[in-house]
A and B are shown apart, each in its own frame.
Chain A
Amino acid sequence: MSEANLTLAADGVLSLVGVLDYRSGPALREQGRQLITGCTKGSVLLDCAGVSKSSSVGLALVLAFMRDARGAGKQLALRNLPEDMREIAQVSGLGDLLPLQA
């Protein structure tokens, strides 16, 4: 049900893949913290193209990763946010807070 994963490529692209929900959320949270703080690049690009389905947990993950990046003194940008995440972001008033890359 909750197959999800997070991988960091050498170029600093962090790929979020799968279903983001209450089951997958806790493990992804920890994975993200380790990958972002351990990343040697000064900026991280969170790519959500592989997200197949997301609840509010997906947005909470993005926010947590933004805090991780800030804490580690890195830039974090976001790309390919799927439609369901965009809608939740909009309803929750997150539109202006997310570092979306055009």
Chain B
Amino acid sequence: MSAGNDCAVELKGVTFKRGERTIFDNVDIIIPRGKVTGIMGPSGCGKTTLLRLIAAQLKPSAGEVWVNGRNLPQLSRSELFDMRKQFGVLFQSGALFTDLDVFENVAFPLRVHTALPEEMIRDIVLMKLQAVGLRGAVELMPDELSGGMKRRVALARAIALDPQILMYDEPFVGQDPIAMGVLVRLIRLLNDALGITSIVVSHDLAETASIADYLYVVGDSQVLGHGTPDELMNSANPRIRQFMQGIPDGPVPFHFPAPDYREQLLGGDDA
């Protein structure tokens, strides 16, 4: 039995290809239930793709994706639609509806997925906004919000349906230090108080390491390593060390593969 009680999500031998390109090659990942798991790696390594595989927005080319005891690639369309209600996703862009005010943005999933009466929708929207500290912004439009506030409204919307699994796609990108601190605190608070399983995909090392109970480092279509932030920081693996310590050159080379420089500048023959 996969994805038992201790693990909310399990990827087993997952391969994902886009055309000829292999984004993931036979990857195994276990996301423990009720914890904050960070998935880290350099830009472009497929972290967002990984989230989309877990959220059943993409189908793996091979392998199994178990979520709460069910193998997603084997589910029907309607079963997948139901499964998706268990997920909340905080997108990198925030993705607020620009012509709806803050209230309606948070109310949106409640209106689409539930038959709750208006007064209860209002209660829940105000509760979620209170949780992220923005109840006072209920009548504002997205373009009246700072970047950090937008992300918090998006977070209120992501938790509107009380998801069991909350996924954050690069939550810290472009945030000032105060907004970052607020987000870090909120992710931890929501995880611990509401028993949510949190998956944070990020390349922001310090913030992610500071909140994650467990980390995966991905790159080169593989899981390069996993462990607690401390374990990874002290890893003997040079690839993990390069990423964790932000060393510009190493196993992941500074230079994109290129023809010989001398030959390119000076020509093939010895001058």
Contacts and interface: CB of A to CB of B under 8 A. Distances in A.
Given A25-B114, A26-B115, A92 B130 contact: yes
Contacts of B162: 21, 55-57, 88
A56 B130 CA distance: 13
A67 B120 CA distance: 11
Contacts of B131: 91-93
A8 B76 CA distance: 42
Q: Is the interface of B mostly helix, strand, loop or mixed?
A: helix
Interface string B105-117: 0000000011111
Contacts, number: 62
Interface stretch (B52-60, B141-149, B190-198): B190-198
Given A56-B128, A56-B162, A91 B193 contact: yes
A84 B193 CA distance: 9
Nearest to B121: A60
A74 interface: no
Given A29-B117, A91-B194, A22 B189 contact: no
**Count class of interface residues, chain B:** 20 to 34
B251 to A, nearest CB: 42
Interface of B: 113-117, 119-120, 123-124, 127-128, 130-131, 161-162, 189-190, 193-195
18 contacts: A22-B116, A22-B161, A25-B116, A25-B120, A26-B115, A26-B116, A26-B120, A55-B162, A56-B128, A59-B123, A60-B116, A61-B120, A64-B120, A67-B119, A88-B127, A92-B127, A92-B130, A92-B131
The 3 closest A-B pairs by CB, nearest first: A92-B127, A60-B123, A55-B162
